[in-house]
Structure 1
């Protein structure tokens, strides 16, 4: 008897199998909304989950260190990172909508198994580095607001799994609502702090101008790559390509084109908002610490202690702590989803969300707890910045496959990236790789 074997779609080595995040796949109806602003609003959400990556506690550490040491100079890095992120996240939406795959599934279905497993390992390392930053940042936030010791705060962060499970049970829109609400709180906190800091706006504007000093100064390059790693985070590429598919946008080409347009608008607006927050962290550090000659502030706890006297208002440290805690909570939600997408996409292993969360959080808690117990605040600051540089080094392993897939007409069909976009994306990928090679070279020569 003949056995019918279904061939994989053109351009792919194997069939996709189950959809990304099956429990919430196509769970948000957008078909009932008429084209226009109502349809656009229905697509709002995934971009803000991605934007959280700009504001995780590791980003605070690199931005505060960069702002206190080099003033407003590294603002141009935040701007360039944001431009890169807008392009790459738009490609993530294109990949998801055009191929029906998230980035992890696309890697699994395109590359030989050893290559796919290597990319999976790299993605897991990136997620662990992200989780370490979240563990430490949330613990510091709990310490700053409630006085909870760092060691206990690190352990408390494991309990966030229950918050995530509860929200997922209510529906994916509730997850998005929590993220957007907390982002609003963060924005309010920084708006007040920036107003109190009264930065030199002329110097701020000049800080967005490119300078060769960033490349020639190894210490500045290290912090610049930390900011890049904290901004264009590898797990965000996997995350966006999965959560875009929570929208039930239809299967026809016109519906997919419209979905791509609205998803790109959502991510671009959200990332522009994130740039303002990201720049605000650096501006606050430059206007308070660098301005007063305190150029070695990197610990979040130290920044919290100094910011009140420098700004002359008792509420400033509280706002700092609240914003940091909100960042930590937000980041834990998005890292959980990214971890689920990576594991299911690469390995086709489905774990209960609570089990997946506890595994990744346990792996992150061990080094975070060890550092906080043995070294205290100074150790956590160094670990935070190191995690961001690790993320930057991992970035190419996600960026190059993403650009390859979206530029391949056999894989993408009618939604293949236009030639100009593909060229721009390749340029971004090469720049990221070159900067990382430069960083490694400086590290080896310096070591």
Structure 2
């Protein structure tokens, strides 16, 4: 199992910091990338609608939602810190392949839906600020894919600084909006006291809560916390958990401020003026100047919207990478992953806007939130199960009180989102001219999701869980070797990567040397930590790879072969030649997956770089898979 966000995994040092402040600062960052998901354009519409219709009275809903989000994000961070797994990897190692494929499919759709809302929000902001059409604005958002690639190559700290700068822009914009709007502070305080004016207010409250916790944030947070390199002792893990909780508390409270500011702005302008029907982002922008008497109000509103969309798309695309690699264990070139993730969101937006016009953006935003609602339970429930498991969490599992509160929050969020989905499907059935199609497609699909959700909820309670997260090696160490034929080579090196290519490579090596030769199995750990710390790295992947290498050695020794092992650290095209050139081998045998041309661009290539750096024959064995 590869490392989550491998390019930046454990790339931020937190050790050897002289002061407590510097140590805390070293952990700060991941939660700010998470916080943008709580102030993305998908949340703006519900905040505007709540403020314009009911004034300040629903502020308490935002506060309650923020507290729910803080708990769930802290659980996500705990999973990543303790197990060194992101949520997608943990799911892959827990559920059957069939269930995992469904969970991956749902997660990918949810991230695309979330990305759709963010792309639309940014495009609307560009449209409002510069007058550029929505289609062109959507296409412009493709460029931030390359911005993300540039930022992550500069290191996670640079990316965090960029996101924090955008969050600062949003915050400053709304500070000025508050100054312009001059809200009634006594009513703001009263709004923090729970109340529900009407049944319509309940529906808006459901929308606010439903748009709060984004499933992609749970995948993302469990991965981003792994960018910190800290002492893996119990004391070190406890310290990491504490500092990440502080990070989450500060960042999510900033997100609460932004959401509250949007609702307060709508209350102080539209509700106060009797304009209770303002719900669209474009309408809110259009009415701000005449109501507040300054041209800067709509400008700052659009700037904040662009910043929210830009920051959210960056983190959403990162989440797409995490989900693909975690569930499928599929490693492809970073730029390809990000282009795919972005196109999944942009193509539907361009098609729908081209066919139905720019006025459908509001419906598209609502549709994206419904899709998100469908997937939310499939992220929250496994997360609670994982962090409650004493064995999987190595003693860092959550206590009974936290478990109870977590399940209450999960029940509230899933129930409210289920109601939102039910109401939406009911509306489609009533409005459809041919409802039989929906009864044969959408309704069975919804029931299928419900059954899957119930399976995920109750399976751990009725089935004994595994003792720990297991490594899913493609071959499961069940190798089948052909009989040796010739015995010309006496000292043979074989490169192994714990994939299906190993079997044919080893068979080919045995045909060259038989049982008389000496074999050395070479495997290279490719994590960022391995590149930085070399043989001194002590992370989970190194331990797993070392264990697998020794199991290979044991299996082959039992079959009568003389086998030694060599574990390298860094880039294979550099480390393998170094090992080979230091030892007197007769030949190096490597297995490949047989991809060339365009696939080399996607998956990368080691053989071409390596063969020019060694002075012995290289036997390349093509895997037919």
Confirm or deny a common fold (TM above 0.5). yes
1:58-79 C-alpha deviation (Å, 9 max, x unpaired):
1112211222223223322211
Secondary structure of residue in 1 paired with 2:392: helix
Superposition pairs of residues 187-336 of structure 1, within 5 angstroms: 187-212=171-196, 217=199, 219-336=200-317
Matching residue within 343, 349, 362 for 1:368: 349
TM score, norm. by length of structure 1: 0.92
Counterpart of 1:145?
A: 129
Q: CA deviation at 1:125?
A: 1.6
TM-score (normalised: structure 2): 0.66
Q: Mind listing any 5+ residue stretches in structure 1 that lack a counterpart?
A: 1-16
1:217-238 Cα distance to aligned partner (Å, 9 max, x none): 2x54443333223321110000
Query: Is 1:112 matched up with 2:96?
Result: yes
Report what 1:14 is aligned to. none
**Given the alignment, which residue of 122, 146, 164 partners 1:180?**
164
CA distance in 2, matches of 1:286, 1:355: 44
- The 1:117/1:279 distance shift into structure 2, 3 A limit, reads same
1:99 match: 83
Corresponding residue for 1:9?
Answer: none
Separation in structure 2 between the aligned mates of residue 363 and residue 439 of structure 1, nearest angstrom: 24
* 2:8 corresponding residue in structure 1: 24
Aligned-partner Cα distance in 1 for 2:149–2:193: 44
Q: Which has a greater percent of strand?
A: 2
**Counterpart check, 1:398 vs 2:382:** no
Q: Which residue of 1 aligns with 2:404?
A: 423
Cα distance in 2 between the residues matched to 1:207 and 1:195 = 19
TM-aligned CA distance change 1:79 to 1:377, over 3 Å: farther
Q: 1:431 to 1:30 in 2, by over 3 A?
A: same
Give 1:77's aligned residue.
61
Q: How many residues align?
A: 428
Could you tell me which residue of structure 2 aligns to residue 168 of structure 1?
Answer: 152
Write the mapping of 1:317-356 to structure 2, written as runs, cut at 5 A: 317-356=298-337
Residue in 2 aligned with 1:135?
119
Partner SS for 1:410: coil
Does the aligned pair in 1 maintain the 2:370–2:421 contact within 8 Å? no
In the TM superposition, residue 134 of structure 1 has moved relative to its aligned partner by 1.1
Q: Tell me by how many angstroms 1:386 deviates.
A: 2.9
Q: Tell me, in whole angstroms, the C-alpha distance in 2 between the residues paired with 1:205 and 1:389.
A: 31
**Relative to structure 1, is the Cα distance of residues 101 and 149 closer, same or farther in structure 2, using a 3 angstrom cutoff?**
same
Q: Assess, with a 3 A threshold, how the Cα gap between structure 1 residues 328 and 388 changes in structure 2: closer, same or farther.
A: same
Q: Is the 8 A contact 2:210 2:413 kept in 1?
A: no
Q: Secondary structure at the match of 1:289?
A: helix
Q: Secondary structure at the match of 1:271?
A: helix
**Pair 173,259 (structure 1): closer, same or farther in 2 beyond 3 Å:** same
**Equivalent residues of 1:225, 1:392 under 8 A apart:** no
User: How far is the alpha carbon of 1:292 from its aligned partner?
Assistant: 1.2
Displacement of 1:366 in angstroms is 2.5
- 1: CA distance, partners of 2:254 / 2:71: 15
How far apart are the structure 2 equivalents of 1:68 and 1:378?
20
In structure 2, the CA distance between the partners of 1:225 and 1:343, relative to structure 1 (3 Å rule), is: farther
In the alignment, is the contact (CA less than 8 A) between 1:50 and 1:236 conserved in 2?
A: yes
Q: CA deviation at 1:441?
A: 4.3
Quote the Cα distance in structure 2 between the aligned partners of 1:336 and 1:249: 26
- CA deviations on 1:34-80 (whole Å, 9 max, x unpaired) are 36221111111001000001111111122112222232233222111
Q: How far apart, in 2, do the equivalents of 1:294 and 1:96 lie?
A: 46
Please name the residue that 2:597 is paired with.
Answer: none
CA deviation vs aligned residue, 1:387-408 (integer Å, no higher than 9, x gap): 2233233211110000011011
Structure 1 counterpart of 2:485? none
Distance in 1, matches of 2:202 and 2:358, equals: 24
In structure 2, list runs of 5 or more residues that go unmatched. Answer: 431-625
Superposition deviation, residue 425 in structure 1: 0.7
Cα–Cα, structure 1 residues 385 and 288, in superposed 2: closer, same or farther, change >3 Å? farther
- RMSD of equivalent CA atoms: 1.7
Q: Distance in 2 between matches of 1:96 and 1:54?
A: 20
> What is the CA–CA distance in structure 1 between the aligned matches of 2:373 and 2:45, rounded to whole Å?
15
Task: Check whether the contact 2:4–2:326 (CA below 8 A) recurs between aligned residues.
Answer: yes
Q: Distance in 1 between matches of 2:196 and 2:279?
A: 24
Give per-residue Cα distances to partners, 1:87-113, cap 9 Å, x unaligned: 011111111111111100111111112
Note the C-alpha offset of 1:176.
Answer: 0.1
Report SS of the residue matched to 2:188: helix
1:440 and 1:23 map into 2 onto residues whose CA distance is: 38
Residues in 2 aligned to 1:313 and 1:54: alpha-carbon distance in whole angstroms: 28
* More moved, 295-304 vs 326-335: 295-304
Distance 2:279 2:9 in 1: 41
Distance in 2 separating the partners of 1:21 and 1:444: 37
Contact 1:66–1:74 (CA<8 Å) still a contact in 2? yes
Deviation string, structure 1 residues 291-350 (Cα, Å, up to 9, x no partner): 212222222222111111111111111101111111111011101111111110000012
Q: CA deviation at 1:19?
A: 1.5
Task: Indicate the structure whose relative CO is greater, using CA pairs within 8 Å and at least 6 residues apart.
Answer: 1
Name the CA distance, whole Å, in 2 between partners of 1:79 and 1:375.
37
Deviations 1:372-421 (A, max 9, x none): 33444531122213322332332111100000110110110121112211
Which one has a larger percent helix, Structure 1 or Structure 2? 1
In the alignment, the residues of structure 1 paired with residue 421 and residue 355 of structure 2 have an alpha-carbon distance, to the nearest angstrom, of 28
Cα offset for 1:435? 1.7
Give 1:443 shift: 4.3
Give the one of 323, 331, 340 matched to 1:359. 340
Contact 1:61 1:300 in 2 (8 A): yes
